Amino acid sequence: MINYQVKQMNVSGVRTMFEMASKMKNPIDLSLGMPDFDVPEEIKQEAIKAINQGFNKYASTTGIPELKEKIKNKLIQENNIDVELNEIIVTSAASGALSVILKTIINENDEIILFDPYFVSYKELIIQNSGKPIFVKTKKGFSPDLNDFEAKITKKTKAIIINSPNNPSGKVYDEEDLREIAEIAEKHNLLIISDEIYEKFCYEKKHFSIGSIYKNTITINGFSKSCAMAGWRVGYCCGPKEIISDAVKVQQFNFVCAPTPFQYAAIRAFDVDISKHIEDYKTKRDIVYNGLKDNYKLMKPEGAFYAFIKYPYDKEKFVQDCINNCLLIVPGSVFSQNETHFRISFANKDEILKKAVEILNKLSK
């Protein structure tokens, strides 16, 4: 009765922890990657205005023109990606963009390369669409192993998914590595899918968009992280016209369009200064890293709002010990073929993070 690809999929470990948190009394929840700040007031007012003005019906499947124009200007000015309006589609968040694009490009048994660790949805969506995920090693510090990358390419390889800043590791890929990835992709005629949803959350290193140097790139982004619009489900992607035009058909029969009033609100999001939030998150990063580095093996996160930390002892016992202390983490096997690490999100109040650090340090001993 059930589709065999769906049978192969796993329930999201992140959402499992989210559901567990809803049933616990006062948990310290470091499981969910959701900003702890609220949608900026000026964006809320734009949403209210749009609703009150009656922008509550269907919008164009590709997105409202005013928002697409803003996206185009942003991509050109901030990401150095040369793009036209017909190469952009507004989606139901970044995850909606990923879903639509993978449905558009994957034929049965096409191989899609992922650098390990990877965001949980990538593997499952590839399987859902009858593709095959191929896992490439990362080196110390989670930088991509480019030798392993090229060695894993076969005649069936269709694309590679890149996520920088990375969830779960917090790694920001070096421009030099991204240029080499683009060279390898061009050599083998591969599509690059670049998930840049955390681009604003870079702390010391500068974000670099691979779509600025490699035309055969789908760039995915959205507003769920930078403007805390996670529940509003508005994102976008851009890429080669021939792919985007077919992706529109997929969106039309799956999502129809992104939520209309929130598309109007998203126009305002481009003019909101979130630099104070980024500074706050750098402080949160430092609370976690400086608090744990003496007792745990972890890389200092360069971006996003996660730390990927090596288990100090048996993973099952450690996860259970955390739960016993009302501390929720996410087992690393959700994001990796290895079972060596766990992920925490530092998108939380400073005092909560300090309590979590205290518990983790106690458990490490």
- In the prediction, which pLDDT does 13 show? 47
**Span of 26-30, 268-272, 338-342 with lowest mean pLDDT:** 26-30
Q: Which of 170, 193, 212, 134 is nearest to 305 (CA)?
A: 170
What are 57-69's pLDDT values in tens digits? 999 999 999 999 9
* Contact in structure between 192 and 210 (CB atoms under 8 Å): yes
CA distances from 93 to 25, 58, 350 (A): 31, 16, 28
* Contact in structure between 188 and 145 (CB atoms under 8 Å): no
- Percent with pLDDT over 90 in the chain: 92
- In the prediction, which pLDDT does 26 show? 80
Question: Would you state the CATH architecture of domain 4-39+274-364?
Answer: Alpha-Beta Complex (3.90)
Task: Indicate the residue type of 310.
Answer: K
- In the prediction, which pLDDT does 4 show? 58
| Predicted confidence band of residue 12 (pLDDT cuts 50, 70, 90) | very low
The residue-averaged pLDDT of 91-111 equals 97
The residue-averaged pLDDT of 152-170 equals 98
The CATH class of 41-269 is alpha beta
Q: What's the CA gap between 35 and 136, in Å, rounded?
A: 29
- In the prediction, which pLDDT does 3 show? 63
| pTM check: above 0.85 | yes
Answer yes or no: is pLDDT of 21 > 80: no
The answer for 162, left when phi > 0, alpha when psi is -120 to 50, beta otherwise, is beta
Answer yes or no: is pLDDT of 197 > 70: yes
